[in-house]
């Protein structure tokens, strides 16, 4: 399988228009355009009945103690965990692309609706659901794509991996609202092939000045 994008070259810095956050010019960050990227694929294995797309950031701090605190950086050696930015299941193999902006244009407080998506596909919750839980103005169920918004004081550049799975069933056995972790569990024994596409992003002004 092959996976690519017209939005940026795999491994490069993700353009700010595809991120949920961007520098605010004062050392912090504010919301960005949050436009879902173009993705295209080919060479899908024979027997594929549906596709699953997961985008995750594996550089998220395991503790929030120092997150977005001016005057200090989150240490690079802090343990890191996954943060899901996009979970899409039951996607038909054709047409073999997702158009830029098809699934997100702007960051929606309390989240975009779901789980229903195009052509019978379904969106899972992304992890902004947990991040904003308990926030009076932002709490809600966040379905679909919401892009990078790493802590503006993180000493690590974050990596975002889009993984497309070719699946041997037309519909994953998940009902109602589901998460990226649940999707990964249901993929076991059902994957015929996979492909990845990635990008990096930081809001740390020190790292940005170094061209990271």
Domain range for 89 is 2-209
pLDDT (tens digit, 0 to 9) for every residue of the chain, 212 residues total?
999 999 999 999 999 999 999 999 888 899 999 999 999 999 999 999 999 999 999 999 999 888 999 989 999 999 999 999 999 999 999 999 999 999 999 999 999 999 999 999 999 999 999 999 999 999 999 999 999 999 999 999 999 999 999 999 999 999 999 999 999 999 999 999 999 999 999 999 999 988 87
Yes or no: say if 103 and 143 are a contact pair by the CB < 8 Å rule. no
The confidence score (pLDDT) of residue 60 equals 98
pLDDT of residue 137: 96
Contact (CB, 8 A) for 113 and 145? no
Are 68 and 153 spatial neighbours (Cβ–Cβ below 8 Å)?
A: yes
Tokens of 210: 């170094």
End-to-end CA distance of the chain: 30
DSSP alpha helix (H) spans, 30-179? 128-131
Q: What is residue 210's predicted lDDT score, i.e. its pLDDT? A: 87
What residues contact 55, with CB distance under 8 A and at least 6 apart?
Answer: 84, 85, 86, 87, 145, 160, 161, 162, 163
Element (H, E) at 209: helix 205-209
Residue 36, phi then psi, degrees to nearest 5 = -65, 140
180: part of which helix (H) or strand (E)?
helix 180-187
pLDDT, tens only, 124-160 = 999 999 999 999 999 999 999 999 999 999 999 999 9
CATH code: domain of residue 94: 3.90.280.10
Who contacts 138 (Cβ-Cβ below 8 Å, separation ≥6)? 109, 110, 132
What's the pLDDT score for residue 26?
A: 86
Q: How many domains does the chain have?
A: 1
Asked if 142 contacts 132 with a C-beta cutoff of 8 angstroms, the reply is yes
At residue 52, the pLDDT reads 98
Exposed/middle/buried for residue 143 (C-beta within 10 Å: 0-12, 13-18, 19+): buried
Nearest to 88 by CA among 142, 145, 137: 145
């Amino acid at each position: 399988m092959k996976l690519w994008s017209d939005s940026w070259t795999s491994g490069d810095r993700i353009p700010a228009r595809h991120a949920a956050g961007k520098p605010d010019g004062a050392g912090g960050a504010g919301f960005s355009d949050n436009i879902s990227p173009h993705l295209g694929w080919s060479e899908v294995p024979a027997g594929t009945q549906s596709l699953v797309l997961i985008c995750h950031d594996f550089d998220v701090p395991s503790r929030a103690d120092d997150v977005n605190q001016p005057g200090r950086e989150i240490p690079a050696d802090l343990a890191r965990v996954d943060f899901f930015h996009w979970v899409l299941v039951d996607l038909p193999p054709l047409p073999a692309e997702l158009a830029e902006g098809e699934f997100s244009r702007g960051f929606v407080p309390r989240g975009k609706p779901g789980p229903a998506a195009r052509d019978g596909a379904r969106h899972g919750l992304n992890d902004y659901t947990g991040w904003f839980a308990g926030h009076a103005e932002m709490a809600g169920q966040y379905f679909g794509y919401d892009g990078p918004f790493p802590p503006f004081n993180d000493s690590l550049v974050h990596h975002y991996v889009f993984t497309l799975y070719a699946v041997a069933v037309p519909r994953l056995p998940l009902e109602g609202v589901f998460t990226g972790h649940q999707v990964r569990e249901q993929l076991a024994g059902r994957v015929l092939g996979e492909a990845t596409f990635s990008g990096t992003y930081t809001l740390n002004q020190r790292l940005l000045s170094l061209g990271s």
